[in-house]
């Protein structure tokens, strides 16, 4: 995995692009908004977000429990922190507390009843509306941005690795190879 394509262009959103995406996502219909925000705030894969049910949201601790689907085995879960205002919004839009009170519905009802293609289309449209460059229009760019954002906030590499569901730190270490303004943030810390 690389953070730059063969032309040297980045595959992740800058902090400014990330903010534009978040603002645009909040302007969408409620289900589209929460879906797009889940991807940027949790770093999960699109299929992992689409598999989420109410019982995977911890409103008290502001966490989401995500099953890592890429490893081709079931039962591999990770807990990822979410912004408190976002978990409150999830409850408001999806009725998380109410669904959790109905055990079966909390486990069975998916938060977003869409196909991967539909979810991908929504994310792409939000990114386009936010003015994100054409070559970055993909949910994968949000996953990369989550990691870069976390590392720029001094989250330890092993935590970022755990939150992304990576099997080895070497996979996550690629996110330390950022460039441009993101690299400047890391470099400035050397002289603080």
Domain ranges of the chain: 15-189
Task: Check residues 5 and 46 and name the one with the higher pLDDT.
Answer: 46
Task: Check residues 74 and 51 and name the one with the higher pLDDT.
Answer: 51
Q: Is 149 helix (H, G, I), strand (E, B) or coil?
A: helix
Q: What is the pLDDT of residue 8?
A: 65
CA 188 – CA 181 distance, rounded (Å): 10
* DSSP code at position 24: H
CA 159 – CA 76 distance, rounded (Å): 16
Average confidence (pLDDT) over 128-132: 96
CA 106 – CA 99 distance, rounded (Å): 5
Number of Cα atoms under 13 Å in the Cβ half of residue 77: 10
Q: Which residue has the tokens 């908004």?
A: 33
CATH topology of domain 15-189: hpI Integrase; Chain A (1.10.443)
Confidence of residue 173 (pLDDT cuts 50, 70, 90): confident
CA 120 – CA 173 distance, rounded (Å): 26
Q: What percentage of the chain exceeds 70 in pLDDT?
A: 84
Please, what's the largest Cα pairwise distance for the chain? 54
- Backbone φ and ψ for 66, nearest 5 degrees, come out as -115, 130
Q: What is the pLDDT of residue 70?
A: 72
Number of other CB atoms surrounding residue 141 within 10 Å = 24
- Backbone φ and ψ for 150, nearest 5 degrees, come out as -60, -45
Inform me whether the pLDDT recorded for 96 exceeds 80.
yes
Its pTM stands at 0.87
Inform me whether the pLDDT recorded for 180 exceeds 80.
no
């Amino acid at each position: 995995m690389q953070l730059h394509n063969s032309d040297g262009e980045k595959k992740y959103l800058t902090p400014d692009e990330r903010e534009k995406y978040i603002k645009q996502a909040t302007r969408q219909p409620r289900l589209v908004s929460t879906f797009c925000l889940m991807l940027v705030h949790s770093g999960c894969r699109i299929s992992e977000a689409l598999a989420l049910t109410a019982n995977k949201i911890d409103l008290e601790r502001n966490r989401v429990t995500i099953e890592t689907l890429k490893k081709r085995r079931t039962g591999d879960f990770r807990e990822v922190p979410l912004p408190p205002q976002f978990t409150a919004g999830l409850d408001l839009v999806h009725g998380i507390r109410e669904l959790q009170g109905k055990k079966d519905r909390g486990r069975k009802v998916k938060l977003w009843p869409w196909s991967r293609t539909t979810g991908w289309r929504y994310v792409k449209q939000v990114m386009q509306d936010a003015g994100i460059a054409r070559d970055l229009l993909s949910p994968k760019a949000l996953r990369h941005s989550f990691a870069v954002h976390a590392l720029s906030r001094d989250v330890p590499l092993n935590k970022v690795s755990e939150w992304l569901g990576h099997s080895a730190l070497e996979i996550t270490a690629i996110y330390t190879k950022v460039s441009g303004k993101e690299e400047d943030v890391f470099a400035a810390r050397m002289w603080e």
